Each structure stands twice: as structure tokens, then as C-alpha cells.
């Protein structure tokens, strides 16, 4: 395999490593802010400032109104999904712990990814589900169950 492609695998691994750190940061911000809604607003406010700085620095071409209008309606719901995820980290990490929360997130991601791939939803190329992919997703779900063994309610 091309060494440059091998290096690309570092990007999703780094992103994956940052997710539980991000979740912990969100949970702490929620405690400090007193409510997940305020903490989410603050978190997205910081994100907004970072994006403005990035746009000012990199100066990407501005999208046209026609290109934005032509985007499918479901593409605009991504912001809501982001808010729901960030709020979930704030509320659920303190209750479940980072490892269990992230394991459950991964199990949900694997399950939905298989559905999206199988059906080519959201503009993805169809990638048929096979026994190996189902087994991998099932193992992630089993992992969540194993992490819960011995937990006191």
C-alpha cells in the first residue's frame, strides 16, 4: 500500500483519540456553566471564533447562494446533530464514564454506518454489508455490554 495512504490512517486515529478528550472537556464545561445548553452555546461560540480565524487566514472561496440552495435539505441538519452530540457528552459522560459512553457511541456509529453503506444514503457510495462487517459491528455492541458487567445501578 502507498505510504502516503498509510499516513492518512493517522488522521482518523487522531480524531478518534480526541473524541473522549472532547467529551470530557464538554462535561467539565457543563458543570462550570451550570447547564448543558449554556455549555453547548459556549462550546459552539469558541468553535465559531476558531472558524472565523481559519477563514480569515486561509481565505477559502465563498460559496455561492445557488450552491447552498442546491444542497439537499438533510445536509442542513448537521448542526443540530452536532448540538445533540455535544449536549449528550455533557449529560452522559458524568453518568456513564468516558469509556462506556464512547463505546456506545462507536457501537451506534458502526450500526448506522452499515445502514448508510448498504443503502448509499446521504450521498455515500453503496458498499454492500457482508458477514465481516456485521461481525465487526456486533463486536462493538458486545463490547458495550461487556463494559457494563458488574456495574452497580
Q: What is the pLDDT of residues 91-114, one digit of tens each?
A: 999 998 888 888 888 888 888 999
3-state secondary structure of 121: helix
Judge contact between 129 and 62, C-beta under 8 A: no
pLDDT for res 99: 86
Judge contact between 36 and 30, C-beta under 8 A: yes
- Cα-based distances in Å from 54 to 41, 48, 50, 60: 20, 10, 6, 9
Closest CA to 19 of 70, 74, 97, 89: 89
Exposed, middle or buried by CB within 10 Å (0-12, 13-18, 19+), for 51? exposed
pLDDT for res 3: 76
Residue stretches of the chain with pLDDT short of 70? 1, 150-153
pLDDT for res 152: 60
pLDDT for res 9: 80
Output the pTM of the full model.
Answer: 0.80
| Per-residue model confidence as pLDDT tens digits over 144-153 | 788 777 666 5
φ, ψ of residue 43 in degrees (nearest 5): -60, -45
129-151 as b/e, with b when 16 or more CB fall inside 10 Å? eeeebeeebeebbebbeebeeee
Amino acid at each position: 500500500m502507498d505510504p502516503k495512504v498509510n499516513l492518512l490512517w493517522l488522521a482518523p486515529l487522531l480524531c478518534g483519540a480526541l473524541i473522549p478528550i472532547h467529551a470530557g472537556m464538554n462535561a467539565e464545561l457543563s458543570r462550570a456553566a451550570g447547564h448543558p445548553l449554556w455549555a453547548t452555546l459556549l462550546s459552539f461560540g469558541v468553535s465559531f471564533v476558531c472558524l472565523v480565524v481559519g477563514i480569515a487566514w486561509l481565505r477559502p472561496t465563498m460559496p455561492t447562494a445557488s450552491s447552498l440552495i442546491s444542497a439537499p435539505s438533510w445536509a442542513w441538519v448537521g448542526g443540530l446533530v452536532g448540538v445533540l452530540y455535544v449536549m449528550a457528552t455533557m449529560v452522559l459522560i458524568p453518568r456513564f464514564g468516558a469509556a462506556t459512553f464512547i463505546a456506545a457511541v462507536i457501537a451506534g456509529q458502526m450500526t448506522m454506518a452499515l445502514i448508510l453503506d448498504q443503502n448509499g444514503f446521504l450521498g455515500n457510495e453503496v458498499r454492500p454489508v457482508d458477514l465481516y462487517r456485521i461481525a465487526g459491528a456486533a463486536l462493538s455492541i458486545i463490547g458495550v455490554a461487556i463494559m457494563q458487567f458488574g456495574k452497580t445501578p
